[in-house]
Amino acid sequence: MPLNKEKTKKAFEQNIKTEVKAGKPVKQAVAIAYSVKKEKKGKK
């Protein structure tokens, strides 16, 4: 399932849940979610 590209808190939490469900460790899932959020923040 693709990650949500929005920078809202709900999207951030959903991305973490998606990655954990895919079998990634929690720390890695959080890092990926922050990365997606940061990527969106840079593009206006």
State pLDDT tens for residues 1-38.
Answer: 789 988 899 999 999 999 999 999 999 999 999 999 88
Instruction: Please give the model's pTM, rounded to 2 decimal places.
Output: 0.83
Write b or e for each residue in 6-31: b if 16 or more Cβ atoms lie within 10 A of its Cβ, otherwise e. eeeeebbebbbebbeeeeeeeeebbe
Q: Determine the pLDDT at residue 25.
A: 97
Cβ–Cβ under 8 Å, residues 19 and 33: yes
Instruction: Report the pLDDT value the prediction gives residue 42, as an integer from 0 to 100.
Output: 65
Q: How many CA atoms lie within 13 A of 42 on its CB side?
A: 6
Amino acid at 37: K
